[in-house]
Each structure stands twice: as C-alpha cells, then as structure tokens.
Amino acid sequence: MREGMWWSAMLLAACTGAPEPTSDEPVPVPVEAGDEAPSAEAGEAPAQQQGAGAKGAAVGYRLSAPHAGAHLMDVVATTTCPGSGELEWWMATWTPGSYVVRDYSGHVEDVRSENGRAEKTAKNRWRVQCDAGKKTELRYRLYGRTLSVRTNWIDEEKLILNGAATFIFPERVGGPLRVSLDGPWKDAATGLDPDGNLAWVAADVDELIDSPIMAGKLTRHRFTVRGVPHEIVHLGDVSAWDLERAHEDVVTLVKTQIDFWGEIPYERYVFLNAVVNTRGGLEHADSTLMMTFTDQMESDDQYVDWLGLVSHEFFHTWNVKRLRPDGLGPFDYEHEVYTTSLWVAEGLTSYYDDLLLVRAGLMSPEAWMDAMGENIGRVKERPGRHVRSLAESSWDAWIKFYRPDEQYKNSDVGYYRKGAMVGWVLDGMIRKATLNRRSLDDVLLEAWKRYPNGYSEAEFRGVVDDVAGRSLDDAMHAMIDEPGDVDLTPALDAFGMVLEPWEPREGGWLGIELDGADVRSVRRDGPAFNVLAVGDEIIAVEGRRMKGGAVAADLLKHSPGDKVELLVSREGLIRTIPFTLGEPVRERWGLMYEDVASPTEVAWRKSLFGMQ
C-alpha cells in the first residue's frame, strides 16, 4: 500500500482472462461482459471436491444483491458438513497489506444455516449444527458502504469487494472455493480464474482473500509482456482520462519492473483502477486495487502521482507478496501479526516506486529529487522521529500508523517515508563500498533468490552486508533501531547532491494545529507544548476577539520572538496565557545538484536514474 493514499497529511498552520499472443508489445483485445465459458450451477461447491475429509471440503459462494440500493448483499456459502455434525465458521479481522484490525464481522447480519440461526462463539466466529456428510449452507447479509481499498462498497452502479471483508469460511477448507455473482452489474473483473459467467474459482482461502472483485461499468485494456497476459480495468467515469497515454505508460512501467526483477512470478495480472474520487492502493499477488479521481490526468503532477501509485503497488508483486518478512505469511487472519521489517516491505517499495518511473522515462530525475526532498521534509518536521524508531514504527503499525490521533506526529515516524530515506542512504553506501559495481538493486535481487519463503530482519540485513562487501550493521542500527534523524551524507556524497531548506513560512509560530479557533494538536517541540491542550478554544489574541480561521491569520502578522497574550476557554473555564512566539519549523527541503560534481558522482547519479 502506498502511503498518503488513505488519509491526508495534517497541515500545521502558522500557529500549527483468455490466453494472449506471446509478445512484449501491447495487444488491445476487445472484451465483452460475460465472455467466460459456462460451468456448474452458480455458487455450488465443485462436485469433485464435495467429500468432507480430514482437510475439510470445498466451498461455494453465491453472491446476490436484491437490495443493492441499500448497500446490502446476500451471501450463501455451501460446503459439506463434517462427521461431527457441527461446523465452525470464521471471518478475517484484517486484510494483508493493511495492518490494523478492522473487525469486518461488524458489517455482517442474520447469520443462519438450514437449521436456524448460527450460534455466535466469538466476534468473528459462528457455530452451526448440520447433517454429517451432507450439504450445508451458511446464509448471511453483508453491508458495504465504505469506499476504500480494504473494505466493501455495494450499490446499484458499482461493486467493490475485498475477500477478507466479504467471505465467512468453514473451519477446514479442503478444495477450491467457487464464487458466483448475481446483481445489477453486467461486467466484473478480478485476479481470480474465471469459472463461468460472473463466476470464478480460488485454489484456497489465501487466494480468495487476496483477490478483490470489481463490478459495474468497466473499461478494459489488455496487453502481454513476455507472453504473460495483463489487463488494466477502469471502473467509473474515465471520459476525462487520456486512456491511450495511460495504457502506454503502464505497459512501459510493467516492462521496466519486470526487467528489474528479471522474472514474472504470476500467470496473469490485473490492475483494478476504481475512478471513484478518493485515493488508495492495496497490493495483491496477481492484481492490485487502486482508487483515484475523475480528474487525475488534469495536470502532469496529478498524473505522475497516479503512475507512482501504479508503480508502488506493482512493485509489491515481488516485494511483499512473495519476498516478505517472516511475519507476513502464512497469515493468521484473526489476529495481529508483527514484524519490524515494514521499512523493507513498504519503505524500500516507496524508494523504488518513483525511481523506477525515472528509469522508465516517465518521470524526470529533477522531479524525483523534488519528491525525495518533500519526503525528507515530511520526516524532518515530525517530532515523533526522535521518539520512535523505524523498527518500532513497523511493529506498532497496528496501533499507531492506521489510527493517527492528535498525538501521532509527536510519537511516531512513518515507515514509508523514513524507510525510503534509509533505502536511498543504503544505496549510496553500497555503491561507494563497491565503486558502483553493486547497489540496493542487488540486495533485493539477492534476497529474492535466497528467501522465497520469507526472511528475518537479521537475514535481510545480512544480504545488505554481503552485497556491500563489508558490514553496514552500525549504520543500519542507527537508522532503523534507534530514534533520530537519518544521516543523509552517504547518499548526498555518492550522487553529488545537496539538501537545502526552503524558507520557512513567515509569521509567529506556536506549534499547534487549529480547526477554526479550536486546538487540534500541540507539537512537543513548540512554544505551546505543555501549556495549550487539545480541545482548547482560542477566544482572543492580544485582546482582539477571534473567530474561526482568524486566529491563524492574526498570528501571521507577528514575528518570532514577539510576546502575545491569548484568551483561552478550556472545559468551560476562561484563562489568559502569555506566549513568546517561536521560529516556524522548516517543513520543506529541496534536493539539488552540487554546483560542481565529480565525474564519479555524475556517473553514479546516472546509474541511479538508469541513464547508462
């Protein structure tokens, strides 16, 4: 998942399918809705797998939506009752790639079998009585009205389903899982193998959870790379999109990433692009689900941002979905799984998403430098970088990253952005140690070969050392295991660049974020820390009544070092508080080329950007 897709960064104010031809060239193929071959009766578990054994039975799911306008879907799950005459069913509480417990069962209602209502045994578990050896059904209704890449949306025009948020599974599954869809949507797309008209089959629970389904008015484009079929599927209004350009650029990017890794680990890949005026992205083994805007191609910056999302999620096909930390598979879908290595899984992916756009010729090196400079600024302006290490941020993603509150910036540092910085520094250090014969690219490729079943943190760092030809343990410990700033000198020196702060905003600064006149957050490194509190209302500044945004505007008129007096309401009590305004934090930094770079620095820079 690409950072910044699911929540907007808080702003501190002045006071705050079918086989394709084997070719590397894109081959457009017209696609009609419902062009798959016929199969068995919709929603039934495949007959050859019906017998219940020690490993369980096959499962069939029939999805229908007679009340789609009310965001409801009816689900009938069919399997074979075990010999005990009792069957436990369970539902995932989270989805891989998004590390927070979401308790999807909260959107499930009226769970019952042919013998009556199911007995609830846990928040996400149900028990039913059934006839041993015979077919049994679990029926339930699903509510979906959360437009995100991790949840479900159900209405008469569009359908977006995620496996973890949709399916309830029997305790043991011993065969394929078949899904059929019936509703107002005439076309649907997913990474699953087709098994009939609007029907698909998954080999196991992992594949079904990992395969989102998108239905509605779809626009498709198919192409092949190295003989492997790929598809871009848009949901929604794409009238403002230059689809020819978008498709050509995605093909170029796909080729660049496949060339980077050297192999294709899937038999077919689908980009699901929901144009629904929100943003997000989540990786899957054979597909990705992305959300974007109708005007995403209105400007070059917006369009490159979308390409960066495509690049990020597609890079996850290798880094995360297959090359993964030990904790991220096999999955326990009912409980948190912990790892200190999200700086690799997400941070290094964030380093390469835009970098591979440069190598693909879809982004200029200068634009990449601007993006990295902004990334550095986002990390440096966060007080939490001195409180929590990168490894701790990864481990605590379940309770911090996906649940930001008013204290979040004071107490955490994002593993996406700081991880990308660490990747850049390691890249520079490896190139220096090997005289540019090897790089961070080689680390990922070597790890890909060594650890097909997952790596430990120590094992991944060992690969870094092996590729560099010397120990970088001290540097990695300082950047990953300890809180604090990342020393960017190795990267700056390697690539002949300098980091310069942009001029800070003008005006006085309290280190608070405001919602109108109400304090939303207080920075731990600002003048208001330990004085103002979240929830305070600033009534007046220097005796002048303030309303709404007037507080921020008034403080802009002052200068650092000025003394001001605030009239504040806290829990119904009025108090007067004197302050000395501080110097605003430098939130924006720029990467620039050195005025005079050595031939070595220029050569390494070109190597970084794929220009030689």
pLDDT along the chain (612 residues), means of 10: 46 32 34 33 40 63 98 98 96 97 98 96 98 97 98 98 98 93 97 97 97 98 98 98 98 98 98 98 98 98 98 98 95 97 98 98 97 95 96 97 94 97 98 98 98 97 98 98 98 97 81 93 95 96 86 86 95 95 86 94 97 83
Closest CA to 175 of 55, 69, 256, 265: 55
Distance CA(163)–CA(93), nearest Å, equals 11
Sequence-distant (6+) residues with CB within 8 A of 224 are 20, 21, 22, 23, 24, 25, 26, 27, 230
- H or E segment to which residue 356 belongs: helix 349-359
Q: What is the pLDDT of residue 3?
A: 60
Q: What is the pLDDT of residue 1?
A: 75
Closest CA to 159 of 205, 92, 217: 217
> What token pair was written down for 374?
């902004």
User: For residue 574, what are the β-bridge partners?
Assistant: 569
- H or E segment to which residue 290 belongs: strand 287-292
DSSP code for 325: B
Q: What is the pLDDT of residue 41?
A: 41
Distance CA(425)–CA(419), nearest Å, equals 10
DSSP code for 578: E
How many residues would you count in the chain? Answer: 612
CA 263, 268, 271, 272 torsion-angle sign? negative
User: For residue 578, what are the β-bridge partners?
Assistant: 565
Strand-strand pairing, 168-170 and 57-64: unpaired
Closest CA to 347 of 443, 449, 218: 443
Q: What is the pLDDT of residue 55?
A: 56
Find out whether 200 and 190 touch, Cβ atoms under 8 Å: yes
Report the half-sphere exposure of 594 (CA within 13 A, side-chain side).
15
Q: Is 323 strand, coil or helix? A: strand
> What token pair was written down for 443?
């680390």
Distance CA(368)–CA(177), nearest Å, equals 44
Please state, in angstroms and as integers, the Cα–Cα distance from residue 420 to each residue in 4, 292, 382, following that order: 14, 23, 16
Number of H helices, E strands in the chain: 16, 29
Encoded amino acid at 321, one letter: K
Distance CA(526)–CA(285), nearest Å, equals 44
State phi, psi for 200 to the nearest 5 degrees. Answer: -145, 165
State phi, psi for 209 to the nearest 5 degrees. Answer: -65, -30
Closest CA to 14 of 512, 368, 393: 512
In this structure, the number of other CB atoms found within 10 A of the CB of residue 49 comes to 21
